[in-house]
């Protein structure tokens, strides 16, 4: 028997508890694998490649640059004019 603080627990009980936890973890891992496989199959065709996204990124960055430059120009115009 192993003395764990206030109570004594036999090795057989500890091994049974560890075995039960291991079985529960196996079930959880199998469920996770099934869910991940379903997720992987679901997103297989629902993604945007970099080649398709690059023009959108350039347009958005250009618009943001235009807006920021317009704001900076307005501030400069207010200060110096």
For the segment 31-60, what is each residue's pLDDT rounded down to a tens digit? 888 888 878 777 777 777 788 889 999 999
Q: Are 44 and 38 in contact (CB under 8 A)?
A: no
Cα Rg for the chain, rounded, in angstroms? 31
Query: pLDDT at residue 3 above 60?
Result: no
User: What is the reported pTM?
Assistant: 0.44
Rounded-to-10 torsion of CA 63, 66, 69, 71: -70
């Amino acid at each position: 028997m192993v003395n764990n603080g206030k109570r004594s627990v036999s090795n057989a009980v500890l091994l049974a508890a560890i075995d039960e936890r291991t079985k529960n973890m196996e079930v959880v891992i199998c469920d996770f694998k099934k869910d991940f496989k379903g997720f992987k199959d679901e997103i297989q065709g629902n993604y945007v490649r970099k080649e398709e996204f690059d023009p959108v990124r350039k347009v958005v960055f250009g618009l943001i640059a235009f807006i920021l430059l317009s704001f900076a120009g307005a501030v400069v115009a207010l200060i110096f004019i």
